[in-house]
Amino acid sequence: MQTVLSIAVDALAYGMVLFVISIGLSVTMGLMRVVNLAHGAFAMIGGYFASYAARDLGLGYGPAILIAIIGTVIIAIPVERFLYRRIYGAPELTQVLMTIGITFCVIGITNYAFGPTLKTVPLPPALQGSVDLGFRTIATHRIFAIACGLAVAGGLWFLIERTSFGIRIRAAVDNAPMTAALGVRTEVVYAVSFAVAIALAAFGGVIGAELLPLEPYYALRYMVTFLVVVSVGGAGSIGGALIACLLLGTIDTTARYLAPEYGEFFFYLAVILIVTLFPRGLAGRLK
């Protein structure tokens, strides 16, 4: 029983970290129909901003997260205006080539500017150390990550389902020319949703830095994991991504506890099964 509880706690924590990092990609791929392979690069930029603010400028964790989000969005705006706007609606291959190119540029620039060594985001005392849950101890930071994941899921759901901006996003996704004809400025809608996706990436990069350490190759190293979450959950679905993260987190954690020598066999087996049974992801809409 203890083992089961213990695995459940780890699975929840890992799943929520995955969720925070991947949900931004789900938004760009599902709502904006851009296969954004540079998602990890933006998460990394956020992490580096936070690391620089907290380590070199000596600011607190909260301000560091804010600087990371704002800084990354500021960098992303010209990128969206001059690069991404050309590939909205373009064939997937064009999008993949463009965004992977951006990824390599970001890796090179980061390596040049910050060097190849690992960077960390120092945690405030309140998030350091661990908490005793009775049957086991867990890092305080993990509990914080779980809370952040839930907050992000709730906030996004509210934004998309309950606000007038959300209505415009959904309209633009379903039929952009018609939405534009009705007087909605779709390019503004796209720019704002892109900014939200980037902000989420940066936030995830900072929150997840304890688990996925920051270094220039961060942008490529975890790309497969992000893409898996989105394809299993169904692009653009918040609930789907949440379920996918918890499911994959559970499978990965259980396999790692009980049979680590099988590596990621069970993880990818599950991915293959789910994608075979639900080609559009767990919550994807059939076309």
Partner 1 sequence: MKKLLAAVFALAALSNAAYADTIKIGVVGPFSGPFALQGKNFKAGIDAWLSLNGKTVGKDEIAIVYRDLPQADPARSKSLAQELVVREGVQYLAGFYFTPDAMAATALLQQGNVPMVVMNAATSAIVASSPLVVRTSFTTWQTTTPIAQVAKDQGVTKAITLVSDYGPGIDAENAFKTGFEKAGGKVVETIRMPLSTNDFAPLMQRIKDSGAEGLFTFLPSGPPTLAFVKAYNDNGLKAAGIKFYATGDLTQESDLPALGESALGLQTTYHYAVSHESPENKTFVAAAERAIGNPAELSFPAVSAFDGMYVISKMIEATGGKQDAKAAVEAVKGLSWTSPRGPVTIDPDSRHITQNIYLREVAKDANGKYYNKELQTFEKQGDPGLAFVKK
Binding interface with partner 1 (CB under 8 A): 3, 6-7, 10, 13-14, 17, 111, 115-120, 129-130, 132, 136-142, 210-213, 215-218, 221-222, 225, 252-254, 256-257, 260-261, 263-264
Give alpha helix (H) positions in 54-139. 61-79, 85-87, 92-114
Q: For 177, what's the count of Cα atoms within 13 Å in the CB-facing half-sphere? A: 1
Give alpha helix (H) positions in the chain. 2-31, 39-51, 61-79, 85-87, 92-114, 140-162, 164-174, 176-181, 186-207, 218-221, 223-233, 238-258, 265-277
Compute the radius of gyration of the chain from its Cα atoms. Answer: 19
Q: Which is nearer to partner 1, 166 or 254 (CB)?
A: 254
At its nearest, how many Å lie between partner 1 and the CB of residue 217? 4
At its nearest, how many Å lie between partner 1 and the CB of residue 239? 23
Q: Which is nearer to partner 1, 9 or 31 (CB)?
A: 9
Q: Which is nearer to partner 1, 39 or 119 (CB)?
A: 119
Q: Which is nearer to partner 1, 106 or 189 (CB)?
A: 106
User: Which residues of 124-175 form beta strands (DSSP E)?
Assistant: 130-132, 137-139
What's 116's DSSP letter?
S
* Structural contact between residues 201 and 221, judged by C-beta atoms closer than 8 angstroms: no
At its nearest, how many Å lie between partner 1 and the CB of residue 106? 14
Q: Which is nearer to partner 1, 30 or 208 (CB)?
A: 208
At its nearest, how many Å lie between partner 1 and the CB of residue 107? 9
At its nearest, how many Å lie between partner 1 and the CB of residue 222? 8
